[in-house]
Every structure is written in C-alpha cells, then in structure tokens.
Amino acid sequence: GPVMLDLAGVVLTAEDRELLQHPAVGGVILFARNYADPQQLAALTAAIRAVREPRLLVAVDQEGGRVQRFRSGFRRLPPAAAFGELARRESLQAGLRAAQLAAWLMAAELQAVGVDFSFAPVLDVDRGLCQAIGDRAFAQEPAAIAALTTAWMQGARRAGMASVGKHFPGHGGVEADSHLALPCDGRSFDTLWREDLTPFRQLVGQGLEAVMPSHVVYPAVDSQPAGFSSRWLREILRERMGFQGAVISDALDMAAAEAAGGFVERSQAALNAGCDLLLLCNNRPAAIQVVEALADHHSPAAQTRLARLYSRHFTPHAQVQQHPYWQEANALLEQLAAGASTDLSFDPTTRGGSVV
C-alpha cells in the first residue's frame, strides 16, 4: 500500500494490528516513543513483520546528531556536519572514510533489531539560513556534500541498507521551517540545478534507492511545493535526472503540507505528483481516513520501487560486533564525539515526532 504510518507505543495494540492489515498500508515509521531498549524494539519489529505478507516496511529517522530516534543502547552518531568538518580539518579521504563507517554502523545496528532503513542522508546545502537543517547538512559546498553522502550511501549499502536522500531539491535556501510554515525559495532553476541539485544528481547517478521531496515552493519552477509537484517529481527528477528509485513524501502532518488541502486531498495530490509512499504521522484519525480513501489504490510500478527498500540483512547484534568494521567504526566515532560541538538547542524530535 501507499501509506506509511506511526504507532503510539512500544507494543502493537489490537487497533494497530487491524490498521496495519489494511491494503492501503505499506509500512511503519518508528519514533523515540516506540523505543525502550534494543530487545523491546526487536520484538516490536518482529510483531510488525508478522502482521501480513508481503511484510510491511519499517523505517526510522536515524541521521545522527539532533535527529536520532534510538539513542540509549545504540551508538550515538555525530551530526552530519562533523564529517564535513573532518574533511576540511584533516583530509577529504578522512571525511569520506568516517561517513562510510558511520553509515555502515548505523545500518548494521538498525537491521539487527529489524528496521529496514533510515531516512538518510540529508543532501541539503547548509547556507546558514535554515535552522531546521543546520548541522544536519554535511557541508556548505555542494561538491563536498555529494562526495560525503556518496560515501554514506556506500557504507549503508555494505551493511545491506537502502538510502533515502532528502529534501529534494534542497531545503537549505530558505529560512522558514516547513514544520511550521510554507517556505518559498525564489532562486532560479539554473541556480538550483548548479548548486542544490548537485548532490542529488551525483547520488541518483550512483543508484540512490529513494528520495524524499521537500515541502518547499520554488516559484521559478512550480507554484506547488516540490512534494506535490509533478513538474519536480516526474519531469525533473525522473525524466531529466533519470531517477529510478522510490519517492517518499515528507510527513503530511507538517504545516507546509496544508497548502495541498485536507489529509485526503494532500495524499491524492502527492500520489498524483509522483510519490510512491506517503508518510502520515501523529494523527491516527487522519491516517484511518486516508487509508480508507486509498483502499483501491494500486501501482505495480511503485510497489516494485518500494520493494528495493526491504533489508535482507537482519544480522544479530552479537554477530555484527564480529565484523571487521565494528571496532574501526566505533573508535572513529569516539574520536569525532570527543571533538564535536553539536548544538542541541533546536531539536526537530520535539516537534511532535514528524519526519524532518
């Protein structure tokens, strides 16, 4: 199904099980409220997988820094900017190796508890404008971001996990936070193509498995936010850039998504624009309303693209610790943590748990 929704707690309720069996549901996104410890999380994901066949996708935001849903019991990951800083301070090769190892460790730990993928990496350019992005961006230079996020994607792949590049075509050129308002980026398409789209073009060329579009309007291209724009998703992303992966909407409960109407209207608009999977979080009545409206929705092409996001490497944690990368990754992240100066004053995890 085309809907990925959330859960209230650390176990499945009877209502959860009934809803997850609906044909319009395709996955579950987990938040900090769904986590107590690795053992509980593994039991929860196993219960989700057992609800139906083909099994539902299970995802989480586990970028690192401010946006890491599972913390205690997991390796604390640095913000993405730490890899860019390392590349500048020491060498590009050092930054690339660190990004690759961190992504491998993130992916290996998540898969050990039954999570298919994380919504990462962030491909936005940090222009010092958007507090919602900030140190979640790998760097300020598009070429550096492209290199570092390619290394991140490669690390995740080595662990068996797909990557989701966000927020297409770039959220770094606006000041407003799309959780709270509808941002507008007035730059020309040529500027966006040359700068903000550089990381996306690089990773698409390397087979990026999924993209999350932004809830930002780029009036030089379309009057609709990118996630509701067929111009952006079908003409530019798929036709011009040759993207073959899945398109996953940003959370439809965000304030910026209200531009597309009510929950059913914005869901239909996102699907019509070219989204394959819709994120509906923190509003169970709206989720029920949408899945009922989409009960007959069927897209074999979208299902094929989404099938690439399943993990097939649910390796137990004890076995992960025997991998040659384990010690190197942990030692390197310890070094980064010792020198990190992460600003936690703005934490998107406090905004109701929305995907960011």
User: Residues 196, 130: contact at Cβ < 8 Å?
Assistant: no
Distance between CA 249 and CA 267 in Å, rounded?
Answer: 9
Of 184, 165, 182, the C-alpha closest to 173 is: 184
User: Residues 170, 137: contact at Cβ < 8 Å?
Assistant: no
Beta bridge partners of 67: 64
CB atoms within 10 A of CB 162: 24
Give the best-scoring range by mean pLDDT among 163-167, 324-328, 346-350: 163-167
Q: Mean per-residue pLDDT for 190-194?
A: 98
What's the pLDDT score for residue 338? 77
Three-class SS state of 305: helix
What's the pLDDT score for residue 55? 96
Categorize the per-residue pLDDT at 349 as very low, low, confident or very high, splitting at 50, 70 and 90: very low
pLDDT above 70: percentage of residues in the chain: 95
CB atoms within 10 A of CB 159: 22
User: Could you give the angle at the alpha carbon of 2 between the alpha carbons of 6 and 66, nearest 5°?
Assistant: 40
What's the pLDDT score for residue 259? 84
At 227-241, the pLDDT tens digits run 999 999 999 999 999
- 121 preceded by a cis bond (ω within 30 of 0): yes
Q: Mean per-residue pLDDT for 68-83?
A: 95
* Model confidence at 344: pLDDT above 70: no
CA 190 to the chain's CA centroid: 26
- 54 preceded by a cis bond (ω within 30 of 0): yes
> Can 298 be counted among the known catalytic residues?
no
User: What is the overall mean pLDDT for the chain?
Assistant: 93
Q: Which of 6, 126, 185, 250 is catalytic?
A: 250
CA 245 to the chain's CA centroid: 14
| Residue 282 backbone class (left: φ over 0; alpha: ψ -120 to 50; beta: rest) | left
Q: Mean per-residue pLDDT for 255-274?
A: 93
CA 338 to the chain's CA centroid: 26
What's the pLDDT score for residue 337? 79
Contacts of residue 181, Cβ cutoff 8 Å, sequence gap at least 6: 255, 256
Q: Mean per-residue pLDDT for 105-133?
A: 95
- Which tokens is 183 given? 């941002």
* Model confidence at 336: pLDDT above 90: no
What's the pLDDT score for residue 181? 87
- Which tokens is 107 given? 């992916």
> Can 250 be counted among the known catalytic residues?
yes
Higher-pLDDT residue of 345, 187: 187
Q: Which of 22, 167, 179, 215 is catalytic?
A: 179
Give pTM, 2 decimals. Answer: 0.93
User: Residues 2, 299: contact at Cβ < 8 Å?
Assistant: yes
What's the pLDDT score for residue 350? 37
* Model confidence at 354: pLDDT above 80: no
Categorize the per-residue pLDDT at 176 as very low, low, confident or very high, splitting at 50, 70 and 90: confident
